[in-house]
Amino acid sequence: MRILHTMLRVRDLEASKQFYCDVLGMNLIREKEYPEGKFTLAFVGYGSESENAVIELTYNWGKDDYTLGDAFGHIALGVNDIYSACSQVNERGGKVVRQPGPMKHGSTVIAFVEDPDGYKIELIELRKLATTVATQQEVSA
C-alpha cells in the first residue's frame, strides 16, 4: 500500500491552483469537471501520481465556505533550504504564518505557510532532518 493523495475542499479553485502551482512550485497534473455531480477535481503535486502522493483540490460548484474544523492538522513538505523557501513563498504572494526556526521541544527546523482556504502547510528543512535522523539511529544502535 501507499498514499495516493490527500483531498482538500477549496472555495476558489483558480486561487488554490495558483497557490499550489505558482507559490509552492507544484504542477497541475490533471483536472476534470463532473457536471452531473457539480464539482471539479484538480490534482497537483511534484511528480507523477504513479510515483508520488499528490493533493486533490475539490471544488464543489456554488459552495464558497467551509469550516476547517480542528481535527485536520497540516500537510508537510520537505525543503532543502527553509529560509530560501519561505523567502520564495513571500515573493510569490504566499503567506508565511510561522517563520523558520526549531520546532518546540526539538531541533528540526520548520515553518508554516497558509493556503487561500486557511489550510496549513508545514515546511521541514531536510538537511537538519537528515542529521537528526542519523543521530537518532546512531544513539539507538
CATH of the domain at 131: 3.10.180.10
Q: Which residues are catalytic?
A: 122
Mark whether 81 and 41 lie in a shared domain: no
Residue 69 within any structural domain of the chain: no
Mark whether 141 and 104 lie in a shared domain: yes
Q: Is the pLDDT of residue 128 over 80?
A: no
- Please give the pLDDT value at position 64: 86
Residue 68 within any structural domain of the chain: no
**What is the percent of the chain with per-residue pLDDT over 70, rounded to a whole number?**
90
**Cα angle for residues 35, 36, 37 (degrees, 5° grid):** 90
Mean pLDDT of 60-68: 91
Domain boundary among 23, 43, 63: 63
What is the number of structural domains in the chain?
A: 2
Q: Which residues pair with residue 98 across a beta bridge? A: 112
Mean pLDDT of 88-105: 96
- Please give the pLDDT value at position 100: 97
Q: Which residues pair with residue 54 across a beta bridge? A: 5
Predicted structure pTM score: 0.82
Mark whether 84 and 135 lie in a shared domain: yes
Name the band, by pLDDT with cuts 50, 70 and 90, for residue 4: very high
Longest dimension (CA), the chain: 57
- Of 20, 60, 64, 63, which Cα lies nearest the Cα of 41? 60
